[in-house]
Amino acid sequence: MTAGAPGRRLVLLRHGQTAWNLELRVQGHHDVEIDDTGHRQAAAAAPLIAAYQPVALWCSDLTRARQTAAYVAKETGLEPTYDERLREYYLGERQGLTHAEYDALAPEEFETFRRGSYDVAPGAESTEQVRARMVEVLTELLASIGPGETAVAVSHGAAGKVGLAALLGWPDSVSDSLRGLGNCGWLVLEEPFSDAPLRLSAYNRKA
């Protein structure tokens, strides 16, 4: 590839709403389905994602992401590739708790968790581990497409934000200032030309 060739684009889409999102319940790797609102969100987002004309669609293997990706697959004709590296944080012993239950159980820990430091949960996956797997899988996804092409990854809120920051080389202090992607919100990373550093061109877009 030459410097004059068009750059690649990566679209990272968060899954649709689940009942657990609505209940403020810690999901992590629990395999929760999207609810009726989540299905409507995914159906509305899919044609807009398809408008980027993606040539590759990769997805977390958790059900909420797979169900969301199915709408994108229908609009694009692409067959999703499921990859566990696109999963949300594993949140250890706190998975399944509502925020109120978590706060009652361990208030100081919950306050740290609520601020985005998920490592504090006992048995949780570390941010370094999430960062490493997200960078690995998203780099592989980008490498699978050619100049001027677009790839879509369907993932999760916290993991997606960590992956974004790592790909752009941001310190934690910058990524912590970002509001998390909403359900079926997406971000867009683009190379201005081939082999150029990725740039954030859109964040938390919604249908």
Written in H, E and C, the secondary structure of 165-207 is HHHHCCCHHHHCCCCCCCCCCEEEEECCCCCCCCEEEEEEECC
Task: State the pLDDT confidence band at 195, using cuts at 50, 70 and 90.
Answer: confident
Q: Outline where DSSP puts E strands in the chain.
A: 9-14, 56-59, 81-82, 150-155, 186-190, 199-205
Instruction: State pTM to two decimals.
Output: 0.95
110-150 pLDDT, tens digit each: 999 999 999 999 999 999 999 999 999 999 999 999 999 99
Query: What pLDDT sits at residue 179?
Result: 87
Percentage with pLDDT > 90 across the chain? 91
Both structure tokens of 126: 């570390």
Query: Token pair 């690995």 is at which residue?
Result: 136
What's the distance, CA 118 to chain centroid?
16
In whole angstroms, what is the distance from residue 75 CA to residue 115 CA? 36
Residues with catalytic roles: 15, 88
Q: Using CA atoms of 203, 67, 37, 54 in order, give the dihedral in degrees to the nearest 10.
A: 40
Query: What pLDDT sits at residue 178?
Result: 87
Cβ atoms of 11 and 153 within 8 Å: the answer is: yes
12-59 pLDDT, tens digit each: 999 999 999 999 999 999 999 999 999 999 999 999 999 999 999 999
Task: State the pLDDT confidence band at 1, using cuts at 50, 70 and 90.
Answer: very low
- For helices 127-143 and 157-168, angle between their N-to-C axes, nearest 10 degrees: 70
Average pLDDT of the chain? 95
In whole angstroms, what is the distance from residue 118 CA to residue 96 CA? 14
Both structure tokens of 134: 């997200």
In whole angstroms, what is the distance from residue 169 CA to residue 175 CA? 10
Task: State the pLDDT confidence band at 172, using cuts at 50, 70 and 90.
Answer: confident
pLDDT at residue 3 above 60?
no
Query: What pLDDT sits at residue 176?
Result: 81
Query: What pLDDT sits at residue 29?
Result: 98
